[in-house]
Structure 1
Amino acid sequence: MSHPEIGTFKQDTVQVVETSILAVTAYVNQALIIRRGVVILTGLERELVIPGLSPCLRSESLQVSGIGTVGVRLLGIRTEPLQTTPPIVSEITDLNDRIALLEEQQRHIRNRLDSLQLQREFIQGLSEKSVDQFSQGLAQRQIDLEQTRQLVDFLGQQYREFTTVISQLEQEQQDLEQQLQKLRQQLAQIEATPGQGGHRLVVMVEPSGAGEFVLELSYVVDRAGWTPLYDMTFNRTGRQVKVSYLAEVKQYSGENWAGASLTLSTSELGTGALWPQFHPWYIDVSPPESSPYRHPGQNPAITSGDSSLRSETIPTEPIAVPPIVTKVARENGITTLLLGQEDGIPGDGTPRKVTILEDEYPCRIEYVALPRLASFAYLQAIVTNHPHGVTLLPGQANIFRNNLFIGTIRLEQVAPGQPFRLDLGIDEGLKIQRQLVECQTRRGIFLQSQVTTYAYRLTIANLRDREITLKVTEQLPLSRSEQVTTRLLRALPAPTSSSPQALEWTIVLPPEARRELSYCFAITYPLGLTLTGMESDR
């Protein structure tokens, strides 16, 4: 009886070895796969065939070793692509349809932009030509000031409207281009995958006799990786934040990682362990592009040598595989998370979430008030990572407050012992009132200037039955003109810190207590000059 994987090879010299995935280490954008299979050798075999390997396999990464009750020399390996069906046509068709739709929307936006820009240029040209005509008309008293003002207002309004619509369309065009780039990348990845047939590995062997042999191989696959996710829940009573550290693992290797021990690593394969070396730095004219050189006899799919082929002979005893214990390892800035056995991660790109850890993190809470923008305070939690804990990698974090969803943030990397902030939304236990108590305009020291003075009073009430610490930040105006100056006249009590654009107080409020803050600033500008951005404009 012949085996389809053997083809024309002789039955007594070729054996097919069925293997299963024993362990997976998922990196940022690749994965290291370890497979193991058991075969009973007759002593006549010259080739062992391992079918069903991933189409995304990187053949240069293959390593083979063995152990058994009989001595076996591993002479070499080669990979053979299996020619089967091309990538899924329906998926490619769907991506092409979505790309065509977005490209059509882009063309429509470009046409509208061309039309609007022509209209705006016409308005601009009309405005420039009208200046001389209206100047002459005013001089000859053929046109009055009211007619001039109406035309200027009309032209200005039309120009602003065209500019606003053009800006919106340009933003839509940028958003469409980003969507198109993502779809084109997906299409390129699918088309680059050599079908669903994958590879088979052929191992050249020379056994010393009959017996059981355990074959183990490892290799790297592309189109696989993981991203960290977090659920962070703040509980006011416990003054702690519960952090659920998750990983979303996704892979398109075509192999299902069922029953394999899963390890997550923060490193990237192939980055090298040595520092870079200097090479000669040449200055020349139009250097020719360098092309990769390969020796004519070199075949990247064939690997040999002690680093990739190993075999051992042991007495006839059951082969035991020690269990992998879930733990965290850190070395040279790389974090490795050993999660143990998983139910399985499919090879078709379906994402799977796995839990790395759940723990309580100590925190202290702060209240932040921005009275010019809001009449309430915001709650923040300053959380500290455990000194001997796990590095929290950059990723999306869902924020909950007393099990109520607040929002989503992007968490940056947090090392052990490092603090980080969580915004927990508004807090209704504080009431903040901002009053304008003075707004006065008078002549300046110089006759051709005037000064407008603004004075504000902030009243803050703690409605809670416990003491709180509140940071109050009040914004000050900044001048964008040399003709206008701003100056802080007073602030009571003295701010904890200040800058030209803001005042900041840190105050402690006892339970059910009230506190007042006040400040005053002046704006000096020439007589007859109309300012924008004044407090009355809001």
Structure 2
Amino acid sequence: MSLLTIVLSLFLNLNAFHQLPQPSNATTVPSSIERATVYLQGAQITRKATVQLNSGSNSIIFNNLSNMLNEQSIQISSDVPVTLLSVRKSEAGNDYRSEKLDSLESEKKELESQIALKQAEQSVLDRELNILLSNQTLRGENEKISALEIKQAMEYFREKLTEIETSRIDVKKSLQEAQQQLNDINSSINELRRKLRQQSGQLIAEIESNGNRTVNFTISYFISSAGWYPSYDVRVENIDQPLELTYKANIYQNSGIDWNNVQLSVSSAQPLSSTNIPSIEPIYLRFLEAEARQRMEDASKMAPQALGEVVVTGYGSELSGRPAVSVNQNHTSFSFDIETPYTVSGDGDTRTVSVQNHSLPATYRYFAIPKNQETAYLTALLTDWEDLNLLNGEANLYFEKTFVGQAQIESNAVSDTLRFSLGKDEGIAIERNRLTEFSEKNFFGNRVRETRAWELVIRNSKNKAIELTLVDQIPVSTNEDIEIDLQERSGASLNEDTGELTWTLSIPAGSSVSRQFRYRVEYPTGKQIREK
């Protein structure tokens, strides 16, 4: 396909043309969306149109475009050489009409007429009631009335009052229902007008042709009111099988134009981000006043701490089938080209598409911190994930076909291993017991010595062996007068900075193992210590 010969730049002060009238001899040409490349923020739209050009100058209007399109991004090309004299973005005008809008406005007028009639009926009933209530006296003061006449009068009043009140209730109910229908119609009209206003964008092009010919045009432009974000399904059938990772693209757009059966691509590129190389500014050091320093220290203490475990926050959803997808890898980004056409609504609704499915070898280990909770968590450890083109996103976790929670995949994490918690396993029992026979408190001169000991017992009730990472801890001194001596660790590794003890255990099916640790704390007499 050859590009149009550009005589006037597409990108030169397009805003200045907005208020120019449409050419009187212009030909309006429909176009259809064939492809959308969706970025993390924004989308590149590609349209096709076929135009019958006459020899000489032609005024062509490509209509029903989103009025949110970025003017500087407009590109037009053709399959035969023609000359583009000018192009500008415009709007179709303020009278946004459609058959649906005409139908809604007709319904609105009919409903308003019904409401007016009901209001008139309500007014008549109110007057009838007032007349009836103002004529309750049966005779004059000196006139006698018989019991029969009183009975007949009471029956008449009862009948008429019942009739009027029943009618008033019916009319009131009808008015409320009609008013609600009118409110709904007004909302639909306003929403439709908003969409029509969004669809009022058009391009007016002046094109010169050296003969009568049929030309196929390709129009592309960028809109910012679209984007996509990743999410994942992580499934494990059992710990003898690989981990199944489903990569999903959640696509949305709010351009007012539906993308009907469009070829989609999702890209990790960010065209709206700045391409300027960042600069660095000097850093100046000065003395920090005591009050300001204290505020900074207090703020650092209040900073939130990272959580190690997955928190169950909701239920996931499954997708059936997966379209054929090809992956394009560039130097700074990647894209998934989805071969099956999809429809994406123009009102902001999200369309989820499964773009990749990976069967990945994983290492399954149990993880337990009995000090916090006497429970074993099954974890899946995934290495060599850097080539999967993962982006930051939420993952739904499934184990043995059961939803167990959600986790956050952080693609910019430094670690080369992704860890997913697949939930508690009741088949593994854990106890943490304090060993009183080793616990003691003694005084030596001006020093106090306290000995503390714990036993960790793990029983594997499953029918297969497990690998378990067991974690506990001893305190860490923050004062040179407080000394801590680890006397027994049962083979655990010690992180001296955090006091963390870690055991890596292999536990046969139906077996129990135990591990002990003991430490002594020594500090000056007359002092009290506390853990923080």
Query: If the TM-score is normalised by the length of the shorter chain, which range does it land in?
Result: 0.5 to 0.7
The question of 1:498 aligning with 2:500 is answered no
Give how far 1:481 is off.
Answer: 5.2
For 1:267, what is the secondary structure of its paired residue? coil
Residues 1:488 and 1:419: Cα distance change in structure 2 (over 3 Å): closer
Partner of 2:484 in structure 1? 486
Q: Choose from 422, 425, 428 the match for 1:424.
A: 422
Separation in structure 2 between the aligned mates of residue 423 and residue 325 of structure 1, nearest angstrom: 30
Give how far 1:512 is off.
Answer: 2.1
Given that residues 366 and 379 in structure 1 are in contact (C-alpha distance below 8 angstroms), is that contact kept between their aligned partners in structure 2?
yes
Given that residues 496 and 506 in structure 1 are in contact (C-alpha distance below 8 angstroms), is that contact kept between their aligned partners in structure 2?
no
Separation in structure 1 between the aligned mates of residue 42 and residue 370 of structure 2, nearest angstrom: 49
For 1:260, what is the secondary structure of its paired residue? strand
Over the matched positions of the two proteins, sequence identity in percent amounts to: 24
One-letter code of the match for 2:87?
Answer: I
Give how far 1:518 is off.
Answer: 1.1
Residues 1:57 and 1:456: Cα distance change in structure 2 (over 3 Å): same
Structure (1 or 2) with the larger CA radius of gyration: 2
Partner of 2:264 in structure 1? 262
Given that residues 85 and 197 in structure 1 are in contact (C-alpha distance below 8 angstroms), is that contact kept between their aligned partners in structure 2?
no
Given that residues 459 and 513 in structure 2 are in contact (C-alpha distance below 8 angstroms), is that contact kept between their aligned partners in structure 1?
yes
Partner of 2:277 in structure 1? 276
Partner of 1:395 in structure 2? 393
Matches within 5 A, 1:175-324: 196=198, 198-236=200-238, 238-271=240-273, 276=277
Question: Cα RMSD over matched residues?
Answer: 3.3
Partner of 2:343 in structure 1? 344
Residues 1:272 and 1:414: Cα distance change in structure 2 (over 3 Å): closer
Partner of 2:68 in structure 1? 56
Separation in structure 1 between the aligned mates of residue 477 and residue 196 of structure 2, nearest angstrom: 62
Partner of 1:383 in structure 2? 382
Partner of 2:23 in structure 1? 9
Given that residues 85 and 195 in structure 1 are in contact (C-alpha distance below 8 angstroms), is that contact kept between their aligned partners in structure 2?
no
Partner of 1:29 in structure 2? 41
Give how far 1:519 is off.
Answer: 1.1
Give how far 1:227 is off.
Answer: 0.2
The question of 1:442 aligning with 2:410 is answered no
Q: Choose from 64, 77, 87 the match for 2:87.
A: 77
Given that residues 224 and 253 in structure 1 are in contact (C-alpha distance below 8 angstroms), is that contact kept between their aligned partners in structure 2?
yes
Separation in structure 1 between the aligned mates of residue 449 and residue 473 of structure 2, nearest angstrom: 19
Give how far 1:497 is off.
Answer: 4.2
Question: Once the two structures are superposed, what CA deviation does each residue of 1:330-357 show, in whole Å capped at 9, x if it has no partner?
Answer: 1113111001243311111111111112
One-letter code of the match for 1:261?
Answer: Q
Question: Once the two structures are superposed, what CA deviation does each residue of 1:233-259 show, in whole Å capped at 9, x if it has no partner?
Answer: 111154212222111111112221111
Residues 1:325 and 1:352: Cα distance change in structure 2 (over 3 Å): closer
Give how far 1:20 is off.
Answer: 0.6
Residues 1:368 and 1:219: Cα distance change in structure 2 (over 3 Å): same
Given that residues 51 and 214 in structure 2 are in contact (C-alpha distance below 8 angstroms), is that contact kept between their aligned partners in structure 1?
yes
Question: Once the two structures are superposed, what CA deviation does each residue of 1:410-467 show, in whole Å capped at 9, x if it has no partner?
Answer: 111289x96421111112232222221136443343x233222101122222222222
Larger relative contact order (Cα-Cα within 8 Å, sequence gap ≥ 6): 1
Give how far 1:383 is off.
Answer: 2.4
Separation in structure 1 between the aligned mates of residue 408 and residue 265 of structure 2, nearest angstrom: 24
Residues 1:418 and 1:328: Cα distance change in structure 2 (over 3 Å): farther
Give how far 1:83 is off.
Answer: 4.7
For 1:376, what is the secondary structure of its paired residue? strand
Given that residues 442 and 448 in structure 2 are in contact (C-alpha distance below 8 angstroms), is that contact kept between their aligned partners in structure 1?
yes
One-letter code of the match for 2:210?
Answer: S
For 1:343, what is the secondary structure of its paired residue? strand
Separation in structure 2 between the aligned mates of residue 16 and residue 279 of structure 1, nearest angstrom: 52
Separation in structure 2 between the aligned mates of residue 256 and residue 234 of structure 1, nearest angstrom: 37
One-letter code of the match for 2:388?
Answer: V
Give how far 1:468 is off.
Answer: 1.9
Give how far 1:215 is off.
Answer: 1.2
Separation in structure 2 between the aligned mates of residue 532 and residue 418 of structure 1, nearest angstrom: 37
Residues 1:41 and 1:380: Cα distance change in structure 2 (over 3 Å): same
